Amino acid sequence: MNANTLVLVTGGNGFVGLECILQLLQQGYMVRTTLRSLSKKEKVVEALRQAGVSHIERLSFIAADLTTDPNWAEAMQGCTYVLHVASPIGLTLPDDENDMIRPAVDGTLRVLKAARDAGVKRVVMTSNFGAVGYSHKDTSVQITEESWTNPDEKGLSAYNKSKVLAERAAWDFMKREGGALELSVINPMGIFGPSLNADLSSGFGLLKQLMDGTMKAIPNITLGIVDVRDVADLHIKAMTSPLAKGQRYLALAGGTLSLPEIAALLRSKMPDATRNAATKAMPDWLVRLAALFSKKAKAIVPLLGIYRNASNEKARTQLGWQPRTNEEAILASAESLVKYNNV
């Protein structure tokens, strides 16, 4: 059934995009992917070959950038589905938040318009938890897909603001001028898990600092976690399920882990790779003080004290999604760091 179904994945060289391509090819789909530059094509092909993909001829590439119009119409031609995964991301803050927000919002609208005009059936868009739970104040209630982050929330990072504004823009577009196009949105928490190549995403940077001792003391940040393999699986389930039309889904394993708990897990399971890891906790006041002098610390401040008790029930009950545990996702990331000689 999937053999003649063409799926476009935007940002195919990214952590999530690459995993989506892998699973789609494994399920027999035809896949086209956008890259900002086709110079990255060989890296994508090599990563997929290493992961055991034999039918690489079922994958094609097109150069397209979220910030410009060229090639988006061509990218959509003949596609039944689009997984819009590409987005600007970084742990360091841009000097002007609009440098991150504008590409996210404009890029999303560019993708949706091109998909609508090409007769695509459904777009599944990658948003994030930052668009859902950063304004949630009632800690007696679990966060669900009904929640929205206020983009004007004090201390909201440029990245999370870009995500909430891009998702809002997507739903507004669908209401006003979506036509026959359908939209589903995935809102992952912190994405960990194995990397298919040595180009490690920003989440790996956090673990690397924990493991190699760069982080001299551990801030008490709590993370909701999801494995990249499960994020890709949820995208594909949302792509094909009739129930997912017009829905958003929180992607998380369930429960949370704090950085001190993650550090303890890594020391226990991977003692050789964590010989230099810090054991000392860093109080919140010290992180805030450090933020006056350090961009890295400043990026961490918005994560302090965020309530992350969210529910994955909707994805599990509606789509039959069964995510791996937090611990499995973290350890798979740590193993990738070791594999690619990062610690």
Give me the CATH number covering residue 212: 3.40.50.720
What's the rounded Cα separation, in Å, for the pair 60 and 71? 14
Average pLDDT rounded to a whole number, residues 57-66: 96
Buried b (16+ CB within 10 A) or exposed e, 261-275: bbbbbbbeebeebbe
Three-class SS string for 63-119? ECCCCCCCCHHHHHCCCCEEEECCCCCCCCCCCCCHHHHHHHHHHHHHHHHHHHHCC
Q: What is the pLDDT of residue 103?
A: 84
Lowest-confidence pick of 130-139, 292-301, 313-322: 292-301
Count structural domains, the chain: 1
1 in a structural domain: no
- C-alpha torsion angle, residues 254, 257, 261, 265 (rounded to 10): 50
pLDDT surpasses 60 at 267: yes
Residue where the block lists tokens 């994030």: 128
317 in a structural domain: yes
Computed over every residue of the chain, the mean pLDDT equals: 93
pLDDT digits (tens, 9 = 90+) for 273-291: 999 888 888 889 888 998 8
pLDDT digits (tens, 9 = 90+) for 175-188: 999 999 999 999 99
- How far is C-alpha 223 from the chain's CA centre? 14
pLDDT digits (tens, 9 = 90+) for 84-101: 999 765 546 678 888 888
**Domain ranges, residue 330:** 6-339
Inter-CA distances, 184 with 65, 110, 174, 196, 288, Å = 22, 16, 11, 26, 37
Q: What is the pLDDT of residue 249?
A: 98
pLDDT digits (tens, 9 = 90+) for 67-78: 999 999 999 999
The pTM for the full model equals 0.94
